[in-house]
Amino acid sequence: MDLDTAQSPLPLPGAAEAAWAACANGVLLVDAGIDSFPILDANPAMCRLSGRTRAALVGASALGLGGAQPGDLLGAALRTAAAGGAPQPFLVQPGGGAPCSRWTVSLAPQGDAAARLLCIAEDVTDLREQQALLAHLSTHDALTGLANRALFNERLQAAMAHAHTHAGGVAVLCLALDGFNLVNESLGYVAGDQLLISVAMRIQACMRAQDTLSRHGGNEFVLVLADVADSAEVQGVCEHIVRVIGAPFPVIGQSLHAGCSIGIARYPQDAGDGVTLLRYADMALSHARGLGGNQLQFFAPEMNQRTAERAQMEAALRIALIEGQLQLQYQPLADLQQGAICALEALVRWQHPLMGLIPAGRFIPLAEAAGLTTALGYWSLHRAVEDMLAWRAAGLPPVRVAINISPKQFRDAALPQAVAAALAQSGIPPVQLSLEITEAALMQDPQASDAILAQLKALGVGLTLDDFGTGYSSLNHLKRFPLDLVKIDCGLTGNIVTGADDAALVKTIISMAHHLGIEVAAEGVETEAQCDFLRRNMCDQIQGYFFGKPCDREQVASMLAARHAVPPHLLRIQKQARTLLLVDDEQNIVSALKRLLRRDGYQILTAHSGQEGLDVLAANAVDVIVSDQRMPGMIGADFLRAAKTLYPDTIRIMLSGYTELQSVTDAVNEGAIFKFLTKPWDDEQLRTHIAEAFRLKEIADDNERLNLELRTANHELAAANRRMEDVLRQKQQQITRDEISLNVARELLQFVPLAVIGLDDEGMVAFVNDAAERMFRQNGAILGNEADIVLPELFPDGLAPSGSHQVDIDGRCYQVVAHPMGANSQSRGSLITISTCEDLP
Ligand code: C2E
Ligand code: MG
Ligand code: MG
């Protein structure tokens, strides 16, 4: 008999037999009356699970089926069940070539007596694999396969326990990639993930078997270095890691430079528990990043104190916002063409109950870290608007106010609406408000910045680039943004009259910005000399202690009322008095020259040494210098040389009785001396030479003035062009939007079942939808023709349809309704709908 095809020995009714055959679990029928537990029958699923035929199973002992289980679980369970017991389900690993590696087995008596047992096996191989995978994921990071926070904690505890018993040490390293967000934002998350995987592999290669590398999310890696002898060993490992991470990474076809910062805390020196160690390593990491990145920092107790102070200040700042401890001050900006106040920058101050008035520079970074700048920014906006209304109510001339927008607030989707609402509610014209945004904020995500700036620009407010010269400083990158003003940072302005590099940089920024049609303001102008430099180099506006310090609302009111302005001699274009500087160590010579030259109407300044002469030059605009050669400290040739370098526009004359010196000849040859005159002098000749020097200076000044006027005109032209481009861009956007809505409306009308025809204001058919075309198919071409000719049905008395009337078309009654256009849009003409009279209610 072929057992594989034979019927089951069980007296099974039809349905039960079908269930026996179709059951997904393997089932054996076992004879429990015989010690070897022979198998009486096996269902098809059991054959599949065991990898044996029914013929091989039937008659064989069930005891062998449990595989090489220690303690033969199946045998024990069969014996318990045969003795009338109820064994619990249990797991077996069948082996013996079975295709699945794990079953759970349950036993049940077949019928009332325990003489026959049903042995039911369920395949749990997949389930076990999934459980194993879950167990792995609960301790490992899914992206890099590194240990996760849980496994890190376990390993750290073990390393600390080992160090404790063996008097060794452990180091916890927090590592973050510098500028990782930029990779994510500029190249996308796929590139970011690839970079993280490569970084993980490189760090892993620097570590020993007993160390653990874990990832705690983002670009934050944490390492446990077990068994470390001293800090030098830790430092060696860290330096190695910094070096390998510093080498370029090939990511999505590009070569990326990552760089990393590491913070280190040691057991047992820094802390005795894992949580504190990790916190300290993280603090040290923040410190390393604060120092500019690509650094390693060991934890030091002061960091803890600083962090605690920061946390206290943050808490106090939250209270300050709620309790109204913030104030707004305003710093004026002067226009160098007219001299008057052209804007006020709103600067927040914190009136701390114990620490007094704290300037923004000291708490804004804290507020930024605590996520408070957005709330603070809106507070500033509303307070500034209130103050502007107060100045207006007091009858003061209108003035533009600039509000600083933090990078976080700039990304806040509610910003354009909040600005629009503040303007609408106050009635303040948009041109009187400008927003200051930093280059870093714009460059975080240039595409997103485009969209935000476009929305703000559409409101009509001014857009200023703040602190230019501190970040990327790339005007080339910035030309895409619709900026009106660039503010040169205090750091650059401070050095323009002392540092040649900064002076050159500022000149370049001014000229490039003007080329792009953007105006320029210089921040932090503290001296007249700086203001004069900026004036001569076409800077448009200045801001700084020289023109005005930040002050409160009432002080602003007085300043506006008094029409506070830059002195006329510092305006960009002006006529100066003739100023002469006489330098001689002999007082009687200075006095004699003064007496002689006073009659020529010069403003005469004097000095008795080269150094004193330079001081006078630093504080005054001088046209002509007359200097002696032989003076103690600095000889005349050197003084005139220095004057030439610092004030090349001056005309320099030497008046000396001492002619043989090589240095004088050199100075003449270098162009430091315009004329060499000898003592004793002839009065008339000297007066003539000096008058000639002034004439020369004035010709040069006139040339410069013309040049400035030309450049001003060019720059105004460029600004006008830029404004025009903005207007055109906005117009184009509006046209595109209109076109889109028109197309949507057309498409909608095209497919409505109602016949619709559009006529222009001269009665020409401008639009016919599908339904209308079908209705008037026999009329031929309709579109573009005169409606009364091609659609006579609609003009029953020769009159253009207006209002609603009924017409007969092909023997059917239709309702024709004319809707005049233009009530809610700029459209003209009319829209005609034609519906059958049956459709009408
Ligand atoms: P900022 O926008 O560049 O503001 C100019 C800073 O330079 C102000 O510092 C101002 O007091 C200071 N300053 C003005 N003239 C001179 C000068 O002649 N010499 C020097 N050395 N400094 C001068 P402050 O008020 O401490 O503000 C610092 C920064 O805090 C501001 O830089 C701005 O970025 C931010 N800030 C100020 N108010 C707000 C605000 O309401 N919201 C936001 N988000 N940021 C603000
Ligand atoms: Mg600012
Ligand atoms: Mg600034």
The DSSP code sequence of 169-233 is EEEEEEEEETTHHHHHHHH-HHHHHHHHHHHHHHHHHTS-TT-EEEE-STTEEEEEEEEE--HHH
3-state secondary structure 434-456: EEEEEHHHHHHCHHHHHHHHHHH
Backbone angles phi, psi at 456, to 5 degrees: -70, -40
Average pLDDT over residues 816-831: 79
Q: Which of 663, 666, 641 is nearest to 652 (CA)?
A: 641
CB of 416 sitting under 6 A from ligand 1: no
- Cα angle: 270, vertex 275, 276; to 5 degrees: 30
Q: Which of 803, 828, 829 is nearest to 816 (CA)?
A: 803
Q: Is the CB of 464 under 6 A from ligand 1?
A: no
Band the pLDDT of 3: cuts 50, 70, 90.
Answer: very low
Q: Which of 490, 493, 547 is the best mutation target for the ligand 1 pocket, counting ligand atoms within 8 Å of the beta carbon and taking the most?
A: 490
Q: Are strands 803-809 and 812-820 parallel, antiparallel or unpaired?
A: antiparallel
Residue 350 is predicted with a pLDDT of: 94
CA–CA dist 80, 73 (Å, integer): 11
Q: What is the pLDDT of residues 170-179, one digit of tens each?
A: 999 999 998 7
Direct distance between the N- and C-terminal alpha carbons of the chain, in angstroms, rounded to an integer:
84
- CA atoms 528, 533, 536, 537: torsion sign: negative
User: Looking at domain 579-704, which CATH architecture does it have?
Assistant: 3-Layer(aba) Sandwich (3.40)
What pLDDT, on a 0 to 100 scale, did the predictor assign at position 173?
Answer: 97
Can you tell me the distance from the alpha carbon of 25 to that of 12, in angstroms, rounded to the nearest whole number?
Answer: 18
State yes or no: pLDDT of 99 exceeds 70: no
Establish whether residue 348 lines the binding site of ligand 1, counting it when its CB lies within 6 angstroms of any ligand atom. Answer: yes
Rounded distance from Cα 366 to ligand 2 centre (Å): 17
Mutate which of 348, 351, 374, 404 for ligand 1? The one with the most ligand atoms within 8 Å of its CB, which is: 404
3-state secondary structure 337-393: CCCEEEEEEEEEEEEECCCEEEEHHHHHHHHHHCCCHHHHHHHHHHHHHHHHHHHHH
- Tell me the one-letter amino acid at 500: A
Does ligand 1 come within 6 angstroms of the Cβ of 494?
no
With a 6 Å cutoff on the Cβ, whether 461 touches ligand 1 is no
Quick one: tokens of 318? 């939250």
Q: Determine what percent of the chain is predicted with pLDDT higher than 90.
A: 43
Residue bearing the CA closest to ligand 1, atom 12 = 524
Lowest mean pLDDT among 30-44, 555-569, 648-662: 648-662
Residues 620-628: what's their mean pLDDT? 94
Encode pLDDT of 212-266 as tens digits: 999 998 889 999 999 999 999 999 999 999 999 988 888 888 788 888 999 999 9
Ligand 2 centroid to residue 466 C-alpha, Å: 5
In Å, how far are 289, 441, 643 from 372, measured between CA atoms?
21, 16, 51
Q: Assess whether the C-beta atom of 374 lies below 6 angstroms from ligand 1.
A: no
* CA 326/CA 350 separation, integer angstroms: 5
Residue nearest atom 23 in ligand 1 by C-alpha distance? 524
762-786 pLDDT tens trace: 888 888 898 888 888 888 888 888 8
pLDDT band at 321 (very low <50, low <70, confident <90, very high): confident
**Per-residue model confidence as pLDDT tens digits over 354-406:** 889 999 988 898 888 788 888 999 999 999 999 999 999 999 999 999 999 99
Q: CB 637: neighbour CB atoms within 10 A?
A: 24
Residue bearing the bigger pLDDT, 621 or 65: 621
- Ligand 1: centre distance to CA 464 (Å): 14
Q: How much distance in Å is there from the Cα of 402 to the middle of ligand 2? A: 8
How open is the CA angle 754-738-759, to the nearest 5 degrees? 40
Q: Whose CA is nearest to atom 20 of ligand 1?
A: 524
pLDDT at 290 over 80: no
Q: Is the dihedral of CA 129, 135, 139, 141 positive or negative?
A: positive
Query: Which residue's alpha carbon is at the smallest distance from atom 26 of ligand 1?
Result: 361
Domain 3-130 adopts which CATH fold? Beta-Lactamase (3.30.450)
State the Cα–Cα distance between residues 536 and 515, nearest whole angstrom. Answer: 17
Residue 406: nearest ligand to its CA?
1
Cβ(831) to ligand 1 under 6 A?
no
Q: Which tokens sit at 362?
A: 């000291």
Exposed / middle / buried, residue 736 (Cβ in 10 Å: 0-12, 13-18, 19+): exposed
Q: Where are the alpha helices (DSSP H) in 752-795?
A: 770-775, 787-790
Residue type, 675: K
Instruction: State if residue 365 touches ligand 1 by the CB under 6 angstroms criterion.
Output: no
Mean per-residue pLDDT for 492-521?
89
pLDDT attached to residue 1: 43
Instruction: Supply φ then ψ for residue 168, to 5 degrees.
Output: -105, -165
CA atoms within 13 A on the CB side of 659: 7
CB 501, CB 478: distance < 8 Å = no
3-class secondary-structure state, position 278: helix
Interval between CA 10 and ligand 1 midpoint (Å): 94
- Cα(439) to centroid of ligand 3, in Å? 11
User: For residue 1, how far is the Cα from the chain centroid?
Assistant: 82
pLDDT at 566 over 70: yes
Domain ranges of the chain: 3-130, 142-299, 314-562, 579-704, 751-839
CATH number, domain 142-299, options 3.20.20.370, 3.30.70.270, 3.30.70.20, 3.30.70.1350: 3.30.70.270
**Dihedral (CA of 223, 228, 231, 234) sign:** negative
Q: What is the pLDDT of residues 11-56, one digit of tens each?
A: 555 667 777 888 888 898 999 888 888 999 999 998 888 888 899 8
**Out of 281-285, 711-715, 826-830, least confident range:** 826-830
Q: Report pLDDT for 342.
A: 96
Q: Is the bond leading into 482 cis (omega within 30 degrees of zero)? A: no
Please name the residues in contact with 96: beta carbons below 8 A apart, sequence gap of 6 or more: 50, 51, 64, 65, 67
Q: How many residues does the chain have?
A: 841
The finding on whether 550 has its CB within 6 A of some atom of ligand 1 is: yes
Give 360 Cα–ligand 1 centroid separation in angstroms.
6
Are 78 and 120 in contact by the 8 Å Cβ rule? The answer is no
Q: Which of 321, 330, 344, 347 should be mutated for ligand 1, with most atoms under 8 A from CB? A: 347
Which ligand lies nearest the alpha carbon of 348? Answer: 1
What mean pLDDT comes out for the span 155-181?
Answer: 93
How far apart, in whole angstroms, are the C-alpha atoms of residue 674 and residue 667?
A: 9
Cα–chain center distance at 279: 27
Please name which of 69, 67, 60, 4 lies closest in space to residue 34, comparing C-alpha atoms.
Answer: 60
CA–centroid distance, 511 to ligand 1, in Å, is: 25
How far does CA 47 lie from the centroid of its chain? Answer: 64
Kindly give the distance from the C-alpha atom of residue 556 to the centroid of ligand 3, in angstroms, as a whole number. 20
Q: DSSP H helical segments within 537-583, as ranges?
A: 553-561
Domain 3-130 matches domain 314-562 at the CATH topology level: no
Residue whose CA is at the smallest distance from ligand 1 atom 43: 404
CATH class of 751-839: alpha beta
Q: Which CATH number fits domain 314-562: 3.40.50.300, 3.30.930.10, 1.10.10.10, 3.20.20.450?
A: 3.20.20.450
The lowest-confidence range among 304-318, 457-471, 575-589 is 304-318
Distance between CA atoms of 205 and 58, rounded to whole angstroms? 57
Distance CA 123, CA 102 (A): 6
Q: How far is CA 9 from CA 119, 509, 588, 672, in A?
A: 16, 99, 143, 125
CA distance 622 to 604: 9
CA distance 697 to 623: 7
Burial zone of 60 (CB within 10 Å; 0-12 exposed, 13-18 middle, 19+ buried): middle
In order of 105, 583, 655, 674, 833, the CA distances from 608 in angstroms are: 112, 6, 14, 21, 98
Look at residues 178, 221, 219 and name the one whose alpha carbon lies nearest to residue 203: 221
Which pLDDT tens digit goes with each residue over 71-83? 577 788 888 888 7
What is the rounded distance in angstroms from the CA atom of residue 585 to the CA atom of residue 564?
40
Q: Is the omega angle on the peptide bond into residue 268 within 30 degrees of 0, that is, cis?
A: yes
Please report which confidence band the pLDDT of residue 2 belongs to, taking 50, 70 and 90 as the band edges: very low
Q: What is the share, in percent, of the chain residues with pLDDT greater than 70?
A: 93
- Pocket lining: 185 vs ligand 1, CB cutoff 6 Å: no
- Kindly tell me if the per-residue pLDDT of 753 is higher than 70: yes
The answer on pLDDT for 559 being more than 90 is yes
What is the residue with the minimal CA distance to atom 37 of ligand 1? 347
Give the DSSP letter string of 54-93: HHHHTTSBGGGGG-S-TT-HHHHHHHHHHTT--PPPEEE-
DSSP-assigned states of every residue in 657-716: S----HHHHHHHHHTS-SEEEESSPPHHHHHHHHHHHHHHHHHHHHHHHHHHHHHHHHHH
Closest ligand 1 atom to residue 380 Cα is 41
Q: Is the CB of 530 under 6 A from ligand 1?
A: no
Atom number of ligand 1 nearest to Cα 545:
18
pLDDT at 334 over 50: yes
Is the beta carbon of 331 within 6 A of some atom in ligand 1? Answer: yes
Q: Structure pTM?
A: 0.53
Output the pLDDT for position 427: 95
Give the residue, by CA position, lying nearest to ligand 1 atom 33: 404
Closest CA to 212 of 142, 141, 279: 141
The band of 825, judged by pLDDT with boundaries at 50, 70 and 90, is low
Cβ–Cβ under 8 Å, residues 146 and 223: no
Q: Mean pLDDT for the chain?
A: 87
From the CA of 436, how far away is ligand 2's center (Å)?
6
User: Does ligand 1 come within 6 angstroms of the Cβ of 373?
Assistant: yes
Going by pLDDT thresholds of 50, 70 and 90, the confidence category of residue 277 is very high
Rg of the chain on CA atoms, in Å = 45
**73-99: average pLDDT:** 75
